[in-house]
Structures are given as C-alpha cells and as structure tokens.
A and B are shown apart, each in its own frame.
Chain A
Amino acid sequence: MKFKEKHFNMLNKNALRKSVLALLLICFSLSSFAQTTNTISGLVKDLSGEPLIGVSVKLGNGKVGTITDPQGKFSLVVPTQSSLTFSYIGYLPQTILANQSFMNVVLKEDNKNLDEVVVVGYGTVKKRDLTGAIASVKSDDIISSPTGNAMEAIQGKVAGMDIVKTSGQAGASVNMLLRGTRSIYGDNSPLFIIDGIAGSFDNLNTYDIESMEILKDASSTAIYGSAGANGVVIITTKRGKESKTTVNFDAYAGVSGFAQYPSAMIGDEYVNLKKEAYRGANGNYPEFMTSIFTDPAVYSAYQDNKWIDFVGQLLDKQTTNQTYNLSVSGGTEKTKIFASYRYYDENGLLEGDNIKRHTFRINVDQAINSWIKSGINVQIGYLNQARRNQGVFGNILTFVPLGDSYDANGNINPIYVSTTQNPLSDEIPGQYRDDVRTTSVNSNAFVEMNPIKGLTYKSVFGANLSIARNGKFFGPQSIANVTATYARPVSSLEYDGSYGYKWDNILTYHTKINKDHDLTLTGISSWSFNQDEMFYAIGQGQTLSSQYYWNLLAGTVKQGISSTFQQSQSMSYAGRVNYSYKGKYLFNASLRADGASRLADGYRWDAFPSAAIAWRMSDENFMKSTQNWLSNLKLRVSYGISGSAGGIAPYSTVANAYTYPQPTAFGNTAGSSIQYAGAYPNASLGWEKSYNTNLGLDMSFLNGRIDATLDLYNTDTKGLLFQRQIPITNGVSAWASPLSGWQNIGQTNNKGIELVVNSRNIVHRNFTWSSAFTFSMNKDKVVYLPDGKDIIGSNLFMGESVRALYDYKYLGIWQQSEVTNAALYGCVPGDIKIATVPITTNGVSDNGVHKYSATDRMYLGSTNPLWFAGLQNNFTYRNFDLSIFFQIRYGLIQNNALITRFNPILNTNSSPSGANYWTPENTDAYYPRPGIHSSTTQYLGWSSLGIVDGSYLKIRNLTLGYTLPEKVLQAMKIQKIRFYATAYNPMVFAFSKMLEGQDPERSGSDNFPFSREFVFGLNVTF
C-alpha cells in the first residue's frame, strides 16, 4: 500500500506546485514591443468564478503573449484593435477582441475528455454515457514501446490487466490476465475484436492501432457472451480521413543484449564446490583430484586450466533490432483510405534466434449512396522466424566447464571434452534449424445501411487464413533433443493451415423521445467457424546436412507422417437496450444466447444476461456547489453472467483414440498400438458461468486537471470447467500417464479494486508534467471443490488462490548444534530444514516431529500478484519530451528454476555462480551441504529452495525525444520530425535477494532471459 500513499502525497503537493508555477511565471514574463499600442490587462476565471493560473494569452498572430499570474491576472501591451486568444489545457480556447483596457474573461471547460467517443461492443458511446468498466489506450501509448507485440506495449498501462512476458526469445508473446484467474484450466486470455470482428492481435502492426478499448465488467462484455468471459479487447485500426493526406514514417533501430543471467561456476568456485561435495559424501576432502575428475579427459583439462565460461560464450553478445513503418492516409468525401507497411526485425539473444515480420494493411471506406456505405480492411502478414532450442540454457549452466569449447581455428568443437557434446553445438553452421514461416491474411468487409433515421443495419464478414510451416533439422552434431523414437540426423516439416470466418449482423435503432429520453436498441447475430489442418512428415538418417528439411525422403533409416483435422463452430444471438434520461440516468441491459459445438449435445446452448445503471451525480443541481473542484462524478453499477467453454478443445465430449505406428516392438518388428487420446470423455459437459458485479466511480477534479476512475468488482465462477486427473488405478491412461477428464465442478471467486488517475501536474507553455497512474488489486480464491476436498494433484486448495504454490516451506539449514533434533526429521546437519505439519495418530499429535514426508507440503502463496501498478510520467520542456514508466507487481511468489539449478551432487556438472552453500565452516548459507545426497530429484524438500517472493519494481521504459521546431519544419515543408531514444527494460529491482541478477517478471523460468534494449528512432509526418 506504500505506493498509494505516495500517490496521495503527490496530489497534496499539487497546491504547492501551483505556487511554484506562479513564481516561475513571473520570471518568464516577456518583454513588450514598441508600437501603437495599448496596455490591456484582465482577469481570467472559470465558470465557477475561480481564477485560472497559467492561461496562455496570445495576440492573434501568435507571436506575442503572456500567461496569467497566480491571481488569474494578466497584462499585455498590444497593438490597437487586436484580438487575444486565451488557451488553457482542459478548457475551450477563446478569442476576444481586445477593445477594453480591462477584460473579464471566462473560460469554459473543455469536456472533450467526456465527449470522447469510446468503442464498445457492437457500437460506440461517449465516455460520459458509459455504464461499464472500460479502459482506453491510445496510439501514442502503444507505439512508445519498441516491441512488435501490441499487448506487450500496454504492459502496466491498464488497471486490472496483468500482462507478463516470460521469455526473451525473439517474438515471444505475453501472458494476459484480466481481473485475475477465474477459470482454472480455461484459457484466461481476453477476446480480441479487431475492427469489429474477433481476431488475433499477434500479427497486428502496432503503428496501425488507433485505439484499444479494454472491456472489463460483465455489462460491457456480455454482448460478446461466452467469448468475452475473460474480458474483451477492442482494437480499432487507423482509417483514412477526408481531404487530408498524411504520410507517416517511423523508424527505429536499437541494440539489445545485456541479459540478466547468472554465469556457471568455473575455476576455484567450481573446484571448491566439488571438493565440498566429495567431503559431504565421504567425510573428508579428496586427496587426489582424480577422485573428483574420474574422467581422465576432464582431469587433464583441469590440469591444463582449460576453464570454459559457457554462459559468456553464449550470451555476451549484442544484437540489433529495427523497425520501419510507413503509412499513408487520406480520402475524399466518399472514399477514404489508410494503408501501411511495416518491417519488423528482432534478433534474440542467441545466434540463430530471430524474427522478421512484414505487415501490410489497407483499410478502405466507401460511401455507396446516401444510406449505404461499405468498407474493407485487409491485413497481410508474413513472419519468418528462426528459433533456437530452449535446452541450451540448462546445458550451459550445468555442463562440465572444462575442455576446449573452440578449436585452434576458433570453430566450435562438437565434442569439447571426453565424449561430452558442446552445448553450443547448435551454433555450428548447418547443424540445427527450426524455422517457422507464417503467412496470414486477416480481412473483413462490412456494409452499413441507414434505411430510415435512427436505424442502422451492419453486416460484417471476417475471414482469417493462416498457413504456418515449421521446418526442423537436427544435424549429426546438434545437441537439441530430437523427437522421441528418432535419432539424429533427423528432419521434419510441418504445415498447419487454419481457416476461419465470422459473420456478424448488427441492427441498431436509436431514437430520442422528448429530448430527455435517449433509447438505443441493438440486435445481433453472430456465426463463427474455425477449421485447422495439420500435416507432418519426418525422416531420419539423411547423409547430407545441406539438404536440411527439404529432402525428407533422403532420411532412409526411418520415416513417419501424420495429419490431423479439427473443426469447431459457434452461433449466437444477442439483444441490448441502452436508455438514458437527461444524460444523467443511464441504463443498459443485454441478453446473449450462445451455442458451441465443442460442448456436449444437450448442453450446447445457454443464455447470458447482464444489466448496468449509471448515475451522473455531478449533473444534479445539488452538486452545483462542488463544480469548482469536482467537475464530474459518475456512479456505475453493473451485474452480468458470462459463460466460458474456452479451455475445452473440440471433441472433448467423446472418447478419442490414436493409433501410434511404433510404440512397441516385437522381435525386430514395430508393433503399432491404439491408445486413448486427449481428454477422457464427459457426455454432460456444459458452460462454466461467471456472475460478475462491478461498482464504479468516475471523477474529475480541479477542472479536469485530475481524472480518476475507481472500480470494485466481484466475480463468482460456478460450474467451473475443470480438468481432473483420473486416478490411474481406473486403468484409463495414455502413454503410461493418467488421462484427465473435464468436469463442470468447483467454484472460484475474484474480488478486486482498480484505480486509474490521470493528472496534469504542471502545465506551462514551455514545461509540462503529466502523470498516469494505474493500480489494480485482485484476490482470487477457490471456493469449492469436488467432495469438498483439496486436490493436491491438481494444485487446488479450498480458500486459497487458484494459482497456488503448494510445496515444502523452507526454513533454513540444519546446523551442527541441532544434530540430535535433525535426526528426528530424518536429517543431518547441512540438510534443508522445512516446516512440518503435525500428524495426529489415535488422538495424539506428534507436534510435527517426524521424518519429512509429502504431508509436510503446504500452501505457500499465489503466483498471481496481490496488486500491481504502473506509473507513467511525461515531461516536456520546449521541444524535448521525456517519459518514464514504472511498473510494480507485488505480493506473489514464484517457483524459480534457476535457484534449483544449483547442483550439490558429487559429479562434475556445474552450477549457477554465486551459490552460498552450507559447510561446517560456512553455516550461514541458503543452500544445503553438497554431497550428502546423490540426487536432487529424490531429495525431499529440495523444491522448497526455489520458492521465493516474486515481487518487483521495474523501469520498463525511459524515452527522451526531441521534436524539430516548427520554423525549421516549415522550411522543409514537413509537418513533424521527432527523434527519440528509448531504454526499454533498463532496470529491475527484485524484492527477493535470491533473485538478484534475474528478472522476476520471467516467473522463475531459466530459459531465454530478457535482453535490455536501447533504441534510437525517428517519427516523420508529411
């Protein structure tokens, strides 16, 4: 809560700031001109009679000006009969003829903010008329992050939306969670509506986005029915504008690298650990190093001091990223066009890990006649990606760090010591390929008709096509794991084709009755169809590496093929009523019926209602007196039911089978066999339903200087779609693992608070400072489970977070002085000490004194944060602009794989550097004594080491920009040129000291760390 307090301090400081501002103004007073002049003075006030400070007063030609002082007064020497323009942010500008020596000016508040049009489901609404909880993000906020991913770009900028990236691989996407985890297995990602039709944001060009609206409460999302159960993100792309041709060119290039990743132990640190492990296992240090380096080749490398810093060899590189974007927009009264092209090139941290993306878009609007218009939006994307194998990170941390990683000629040695393969082997030219090429077309066309006044009929047809091909080649020296049952060299080629269309029909009728009654009726039908096909072929044993995956038949040792098909469809009908009385009392209700093919016959259809009311209190007469400080106050209440079938794959209601060609063998013959595939069937699978309540308050203070929105919500999710593992004693399994089956069972709850504050702290002609603050708090919990019992195997615990970590609780290390006590727990000094849970036998509790066992695991916390917040500060000084964006996620734990990479076993594998382990001489340690166990997987309690506080504070973005002065631009006939430099992801502060040198955002993954990126860019508008 510390952050919140800080924010309030900031608000209090506003008064102080006003005074400072006034002082500054006096210093900035301008010299006057000698001419036929009058001295004009005056007072500027707002409607409530309060003086306005810092109002810009300019002569008509814009060259001479001043600003009002702390009393709202100004004085200016002007030529006779000139007019003065008064402007102030948040107020409508006014131009008045200066025909009096003292002018009383009253500026009216510019309610643009409230009159701003917000896109909602199947329509638009003015911000003032909103009844639901909707957040809006504009283009500038999106393109300020140098990323190709639209959702990564708005990380931390939307209250209630927790966006996390966990991999630094080129092109890696994000995990999104809007208002917590409701569904347990269901996909908790929101629905994306792009230009009116459901689609994917993956291929979107961030520069094409005009605005993003995030629909959070049920009354906003209910119109999308089940698909919108996890929230809806509506993305509107830019469109051509009448008689105004604009050309934009944006480019940036940057260097990235500087990853936060630990080195592996080498040299003395490594040898000391091995000696300690030997001592732990044998009771004394080794007399001869051959006892540790039992492999003569490793021993010889050790004697020759041939240490290898694999992490350094893999990661100490900087790569370049670049993006070029060109867009043209313009139009006539009838035809409007927006077209753009972007080239995005990102190089990952590793050699051979990169993506190149081409995105082309054309949006056309055409008026056919007075009552029909139509449009077409087409986006074509092409992605060319090369991927590296994830396993390299485990290998570089753990492989024996001795030998010759490179030969005398500087080439990678495939075998660097003894028979051990070099973890860098995949970097040997021609040894490893994992190439993805995806072509996608996202298009939609609409026709809109206004046959009679107030009635609009719109039909939107959207189609998505995507063809992805993935070619893989594992050369004889590759170290990546090949497909099971195949051996190197092996190559494979996979084609995935997906095709889907959606057809939405929207009928809207809008009328006003007696001026005071505003009514909108909407009827919708929506049909959606998706089909996926896959074809895969693999060949093992080709002789020429140079053929990669382009000659599978050369793999004469063994070949395989497979193909799949999947189809699903859904149909929906919806109706909505919006009603407002005098713009003060707003009401909205909707009902949507959804049917989905993937659910069981007889359970496919369900209906999802919602309703909302809002009251603009500030429009009431009794609120008049507060207008001077509270210009807007609106209360919103909404309730709705949403449904989800998202987690279930098609065909989950029938028992599927799969015939494998060779999972067994008899003699020298493969035995093909049939097994269950997918989920164990459930013939009564139905919708999962969420019951959502939202309470919202919109406020605007100090004449719009501060806007705030507060939302409180509660969501109960019932009939939870739950994929439960079937006890294997039932004898239903696949590939020797138990099957899981879907059930509608269990109940979860989410409660949360969201606060958004936008404030203009300092507004001055030459210097401005504005802040945007978002705060979100969410508490999710499992309310009920089958049989009223926790299901440890599914990680579900009643009353605890849906994203639970249930494990052993680390307490420290058993010390020498505790030897007797430790024995009671089956431990020796140097072992991990964990918390125990008392066991009661025949009414007698052992008070937790027993050998550690599985019953000592306990709920340790949630991997979802308790709260998270973002703070954006924008400064401008003359033509310079500076922005800095902080993000914080607090109150979560994570299971960190890098911590448990420590290797206390008596073998020659390495460990992450810097590990502080227990020895009889170093008792203040985090890690247990090396050597006393021969395995970490069988070391009960080992997993407790990796569970740490995952809270962090991050500077996500720091940008400094400079816009060329207008004078210069006019000469060049260019509208705008801006240069900027951005540091992306430059700093992170972890709360846990075990996470030093890591980025906690990665949620404990030990693969593909993030790079830090430094970017230089240019925006040009013609």
Chain B
Amino acid sequence: MKLNILKNLFVLALMCTGLVSCSLNEYNPTGTTVLTVISSKAGFQLAINNCYFGLQRSYYGKLNMMLCTEGGTDLWTARQNSNYYSSQLKYGQGGLISLNVASDLWNSGWDGIGSCNLCIENADKVTDFKDVNEKNALVAEAYFMRALYYYHLVEQFGDITLTMEVPKVIDNSPKRTSALDIYEKCIIPDLEFASKWLPLSNTAQEGRGFRKSAMGLLARAYLQTKEYTDDNKYVVKALDLAKTMISDCESGGTLYNTYMYPNLVDVFAKGNNLNNKESLYSVAFSQKGGSTNLWQHNDTYQMYYCKPDQFGAILYTGHQTEYGRFSNGTLMPSKYMIDLFKQNDNTIDPRFYTYFQTQWTANNKYTWNSDNIKMYDKTSAVTTATVVNAGDVAIRFIRPEESTYAAYSAQKLTSPSLVVDYNDLYGSDKRVKMKYARLNDGTNADNPFFYYYPSLSKFNTDNFGYISASNGRFGCDASAIVMRMSEIYLIAAEADVYLNGGSGAAVYINKVRTRAGAKILSGNITLDMVLEERAREVGGEHVRWYDLKRTHKLTKAYLLDKNPDVGDYFVDGYYAVRPIPQVFTDVIVNGADYQNPGY
C-alpha cells in the first residue's frame, strides 16, 4: 500500500513537470521593423536608397518604359513596320491590348511612392541628424523621386490615387484623384521642395537627384499642366525657371551646375556617358548593384537599331566588340521623323547624321547568292561571283536631299553593296513601304529593304560591365539620361509660345539649333515648330508621348496626318491613357470602376 502511494506520488510529480506551461512569446533575434531601422541617419539612408528601387528596376533603360514614352507617337513605328509590340507601338493594331501592358511601370512606380512616403513621414523621427539642413537635403531626394514617379504614373494612366502617407488602414477601394490635382498637390510642391534642398552635385553618386534635376523636372511639370488646364499660371513659372537655369548655364553653371556641350557630337560621345555634364538627371547602372539580372541593366542601346546582319556582309558577332553594334531593335523611325531633318533650304539638319547611323561597313567577306540577287533586285552586274569585302561599305541609306543621291541611286541595282533608297523605304502616303516592285521580274515582293533603316544611335555604347557572348547577354552600364539641358531651352520656347505667342521663342530654339549646326529660325515660333524641334533634338529620349499629350496632339487626326502606320489604330478618348493593370484591378473591390474607359 505504501509502495502504491509512493508510486502515485512519483507519477504525479512527473506529470506536473509535464504540465508546466512554457512561454509563447515569439523570439526573433534577427527580426526588426522598418521604423526601428530608419530612426537613425544610417538607417534612413537605406530607406532613401530604396526610393530609387522602382526607377532603376523598371523605368529608364528598360524597353517597356521606352515603348510607353516614345511608341505610338508620330516619330516611330515598329521595326519593319511589323506587329512587334503592337500593344504599345500601334495601339494593338485594332485588336486587343493586354491590360497589363504597363504593369511594370505601375508596380514599380507605386513601390517608389510608398518608399518616398515612408521617408517623408518619418524624417523627423531620425535622432541623429546634425541639423535641419542635413535632414532636408536627404529627405529632398524622397520628394524628388515621389514627384518623378507621380509624373510618369499620371501621364501614363491618367487620374490615379493620391497617396502621400504611410497607410494607417489598408484601403481596398482606392479613389482616383484628377491629374491636375496630383500635379498641384504633390508633383509641383515636392519638386519645389527638392529644388531648394537637394545638393548641387555628387559625381561619385550619379543617379541621385541633384538640385538641377529637381529644377529641370519642375520646369517640365509646370509646362505639362497645359495638358489639363488652360490657365497659364504654371507656364509662367516654367518660363521663369527655365530662364533661371539658362542664365546659370550660360554663366558657367556656378549656381546650379548646369551645362551644355558646345559641340553636338559631345552630347552622346562615349567618353561623356557617365556623369554627362549636359544631363540634368541620369539613372546610373553598375555591376555592383541592381535588382535585375546583370545583363538586364540599361537596354536602351538595343531599342532603335535596325537589322544590318540581315545582309550577309555584316555578321552579328556580339555588340560588345564595336561601338554601337546591335541588331534588330524595336523601333523604326517614321517617314515623318526622317523628313523633320530636311531644312527649309533642302539641306539636312546635321543632327540627322549625329543622332542616326545610316551606313554600315562589312565585317565579313560576302559572296552574293542567287536568292539574294533576286531578293534585292540586282541586275546581271551582280553574280554569284560578286563579293563584298570586309571593310567595304555594305549598306548605305540614301535620301534625296543628299548631293550624292543621284549617283548612288543609279547604282542601287548594280553595286555589290546594298543601297537603301529613302524612296524604297517610305511611300508618298507617309507609310513604310511593305512591298517592293522588282524591276527585274515585275514581282510585287515583300520589301527586302525595310530591315535597313536609319537607326537612332544616341544610346549606342561600349560600356558593358558584363559580357557573356555565348549566352547573348550583355550587361550595359551606361547611364540613362532622363533629361538634359537643351530641353530647358525648348521648354522656355514652348512657354513663350503659350505666353507671348512665340515672339521670344526663337532665341531659345536657336541656341539649340546653333549648337547643332542647323539653320537658325526667325520670326514667331509656333507650337508646331517647337514640337518639330523637340523631335529633332530630344526624339527617342522618353518624352514624345507626353509632348503630344501636353500639346493635345495625341489624336487620331494628328497621327493619321503624320504617321498613318500608327494613326490608323488610334482611337480618340481611349488610347491616350494606358489600361490600369488587371493585376491591380483584380485585387481591389472597385476594380471595374477604377479601370480607364474602353479597356
């Protein structure tokens, strides 16, 4: 009996130890919260850096950004005028447009805005700023970036949600705010703050916003309000600001570090790519960092090049070996774009040859074959024994304004090289010629010349930080210029057109033209003249779609008139904004209401 009691006590004791409750508190030694980290200056800097994440991931240097800012305009069509990227370049060619066509811009833009809100809201909680100046200089980067993201989101998507705070409660039914409100409540005040507080320069940290970056973007933003209101109050500010910058530039950039290269060739010269002095703001790429794969850095060099290696005398050996060698880019200039470089006296604006490549040299000994002789409509002067030697000119684009045109044109069916005639590439109907009528056999064949068009070469580079030719992968570390000083002159000119009917605009435009070696303009400048000048000077630099929107030219009538290959498919009141991404409308409660009309 006694034993039994002992036994029971023993068991009971064991049980009690088993029943002791243990703590259920979470132990999380590695864990931390965002707010804890950013309460120090060093941590706050991490949050500031994150404001640039979306920009570097999805904006400048990325194909879709280019398609969404330059595609679908008067200046470009798809390569070979095909259905390539038709959603962006030709508004779906009358068919369907994917609703996620700009979802990368959408998501990365909001990612950036959220990061900026976090910084702006918590800057005061940082405990170790030296003084208010140090705080403002740093937080001004967040203001600058928030404005840049909103600028693109508003221009791409129209009225969107205005979120300027870290959410206390998650909003599953977001409201839309008018575009002008977003300019007035966010973009403009943010840039005004940034223009005051950002540092002047930091060449070691290219890619951060500087004072001139905020000023330049602010000038753009002021002017862009013309898209939404007839009120010129911001245009006045645009002109003032542009004048301030021009004055600084012309007096050596002492105040704001602005600069314009005296020679056109220097603007996109290979040595001036990093820390380009004319650039007001550039996005930097480095193999040291980035959120994408190393070969997906700055891809702009790939976007405008034609396909010279379609002709056997030019072998694609990897674009790392020769400056500017790429093949099969996405955008092809429209006839309108080419024609813009014809000056009133029938000479060609020098920018055509500086900004475009029109001639290619053979890098391979090529012997003609019978297929190609037939395809390129060669006469019997070219036989299967005819050779193009490495080093010879292999492809030459010619246009009627050139003095040599007649001579080259005469040999285009007899020379061993390819002579691509403007008139074989573009028709009098302002379209790309899809067919070519062979003289030899009378066949109306697929145009064999449309692979070889003048190729915008502004973005050509040899700055490849990563090369894996065997995988066809090249990581380009060239900086992507967001905005440069010559555009400020054009902003001033456009503001003058709105304010003074263009009486004072010639001064500004001619500065740009003189630098380019183009003939100067005189008299009153019209809005159309400014737009044409912008096409010549900053065409391809992520602005054209917004230019057309601002000047109310993103219309079917205008596009049909200038670039009917694209204009055919534009629908007024529909395509001037992108579809709100379906990945977003699927998540919110009011998805159908949030979508832009028509989509």
A→B interface (CB under 8 Å) = 281-282, 284, 286-288, 290-291, 294-296, 371, 414-415, 418-421, 449, 451-452, 455, 457, 459, 476-477, 479, 482, 484-488, 503, 505, 507, 525, 527, 529, 558, 563-565, 567-571, 573, 595-598, 601, 604, 650-651, 653-657, 659, 662-676, 680, 724-738, 741, 786-787, 789, 791-794, 826-828, 831, 851-855, 906, 932-935, 937-941
Residue from the list A482, A667, A794 in contact with B206, Cβ < 8 A = A667
| Interface size range of chain B in the complex | 35 or more
Q: Is the CB of A730 within 8 A of B170?
A: yes
Q: Is the CB of B7 within 8 A of A419?
A: no
Residue of B nearest to A733 (CB): B111
Q: Is the CB of A420 within 8 A of B472?
A: yes
Residue of A nearest to B371 (CB): A288
Q: Is the CB of A674 within 8 A of B43?
A: yes
Residue from the list B18, B43, B46 in contact with A459, Cβ < 8 A = B18
List 29 interface pairs A-B (beta carbons < 8 Å), by A numbering: A287-B445, A294-B451, A414-B470, A419-B469, A419-B471, A485-B290, A485-B292, A525-B18, A650-B26, A651-B26, A651-B28, A654-B31, A664-B56, A667-B274, A667-B286, A668-B288, A669-B288, A672-B46, A673-B47, A674-B34, A724-B587, A725-B587, A729-B163, A731-B113, A731-B117, A733-B107, A827-B95, A934-B85, A935-B85
Contacts of B99 in A (CB 8 A): 853-854, 940
Q: Is the CB of B470 within 8 A of A664?
A: no
Q: Is the CB of B7 within 8 A of A451?
A: yes
Known: A595-B24, A787-B172. A674 touches B37 (CB 8 A): yes
Q: Is the CB of A598 within 8 A of B50?
A: no
Which of A598, A671, A826 counts the most B-chain CB atoms under 10 A from its CB? A671
Contacts of A653 in B (CB 8 A): 26
Contacts of B21 in A (CB 8 A): 571
Whole-angstrom distance between the Cβ of B152 and the nearest chain A Cβ? 14
Given contact pairs A457-B15, A484-B292, A729-B588, a sample of 12 additional A-B residue pairs in the complex whose CB atoms are under 8 Å apart: A421-B471, A656-B33, A663-B291, A664-B52, A665-B288, A673-B53, A738-B107, A786-B172, A854-B582, A934-B82, A935-B87, A940-B99
Residue from the list B27, B114, B592 in contact with A567, Cβ < 8 A = B27
Q: Is the CB of B34 within 8 A of A828?
A: no
Q: Is the CB of B310 within 8 A of A294?
A: yes
- Tell me if B295 is interfacial: C-beta within 8 Å of chain A: yes
> A-facing mask of B75-97, CB < 8 A → 1, else 0?
00000001111110000101111
Contacts of A479 in B (CB 8 A): 471
Q: Is the CB of B24 within 8 A of A569?
A: yes
> A-facing mask of B158-192, CB < 8 A → 1, else 0?
00110100110011101000000000000000000
Q: Is the CB of B204 within 8 A of A667?
A: yes
A791 vs B587: C-alpha distance when bound (angstroms) = 6
- Tell me if B345 is interfacial: C-beta within 8 Å of chain A: no
Contacts of A733 in B (CB 8 A): 107, 110-111, 114
> A-facing mask of B135-174, CB < 8 A → 1, else 0?
0000000000000000000000000110100110011101
Contacts of A794 in B (CB 8 A): 587
A855 vs B36: C-alpha distance when bound (angstroms) = 43
Residue from the list B113, B206, B312, B582 in contact with A666, Cβ < 8 A = B206
A608 vs B35: C-alpha distance when bound (angstroms) = 37
Q: Is the CB of A571 within 8 A of B24?
A: yes
Which residues B475-527 have CB closer than 8 A to chain A? 475, 477
Q: Is the CB of B371 within 8 A of A290?
A: yes
Contacts of A853 in B (CB 8 A): 96, 99, 599
- Tell me if B309 is interfacial: C-beta within 8 Å of chain A: yes
Whole-angstrom distance between the Cβ of B188 and the nearest chain A Cβ? 20
Contacts of B22 in A (CB 8 A): 527, 529, 569, 571
A730 vs B295: C-alpha distance when bound (angstroms) = 32
Contacts of B7 in A (CB 8 A): 371, 449, 451-452
A568 vs B26: C-alpha distance when bound (angstroms) = 7
Known: A459-B14, A729-B161. A937 touches B110 (CB 8 A): no
Q: Is the CB of A668 within 8 A of B24?
A: no
Residue from the list A284, A418, A567, A659 in contact with B446, Cβ < 8 A = A284
A828 vs B11: C-alpha distance when bound (angstroms) = 82
**Nearest 10 CB-CB pairs, A to B?**
A731-B114, A505-B18, A665-B289, A793-B587, A670-B289, A793-B586, A673-B50, A938-B98, A662-B289, A792-B586
Contacts of A570 in B (CB 8 A): 24
A487 vs B274: C-alpha distance when bound (angstroms) = 23
Whole-angstrom distance between the Cβ of B475 and the nearest chain A Cβ? 8
A826 vs B8: C-alpha distance when bound (angstroms) = 84
Q: Is the CB of A288 within 8 A of B167?
A: no
Contacts of A571 in B (CB 8 A): 21-22, 24
Whole-angstrom distance between the Cβ of B105 and the nearest chain A Cβ? 10
Contacts of A666 in B (CB 8 A): 49, 52, 204-208, 284
Whole-angstrom distance between the Cβ of B452 and the nearest chain A Cβ? 12
- Tell me if B336 is interfacial: C-beta within 8 Å of chain A: no
Residue of B nearest to A456 (CB): B11
Contacts of B466 in A (CB 8 A): 487
Q: Is the CB of A419 within 8 A of B53?
A: no
Known: A296-B312, A665-B290. A452 touches B8 (CB 8 A): yes
Q: Is the CB of B470 within 8 A of A477?
A: yes
Whole-angstrom distance between the Cβ of B433 and the nearest chain A Cβ? 13
Residue of A nearest to B465 (CB): A668
Residue from the list A294, A664, A674, A729 in contact with B290, Cβ < 8 A = A664
Q: Is the CB of A282 within 8 A of B446?
A: yes
Residue from the list B29, B287, B293 in contact with A565, Cβ < 8 A = B29
Whole-angstrom distance between the Cβ of B31 and the nearest chain A Cβ? 6
Whole-angstrom distance between the Cβ of A870 and the nearest chain B Cβ? 38
Residue of B nearest to A526 (CB): B18
Q: Is the CB of A659 within 8 A of B371?
A: no
Contacts of A664 in B (CB 8 A): 49-50, 52-53, 56, 207, 289-291
Residue of B nearest to A663 (CB): B291
Q: Is the CB of A735 within 8 A of B291?
A: yes
Q: Is the CB of B49 within 8 A of A451?
A: no
Known: A651-B28, A733-B110. A669 touches B101 (CB 8 A): no
Contacts of B312 in A (CB 8 A): 296
Whole-angstrom distance between the Cβ of B15 and the nearest chain A Cβ? 6
A484 vs B208: C-alpha distance when bound (angstroms) = 23
Contacts of A525 in B (CB 8 A): 15, 18-19
A937 vs B58: C-alpha distance when bound (angstroms) = 18
A419 vs B22: C-alpha distance when bound (angstroms) = 62
Q: Is the CB of A730 within 8 A of B163?
A: yes
A654 vs B35: C-alpha distance when bound (angstroms) = 11
A567 vs B31: C-alpha distance when bound (angstroms) = 11
Contacts of A659 in B (CB 8 A): 37, 46
Contacts of A477 in B (CB 8 A): 470
Contacts of B249 in A (CB 8 A): none
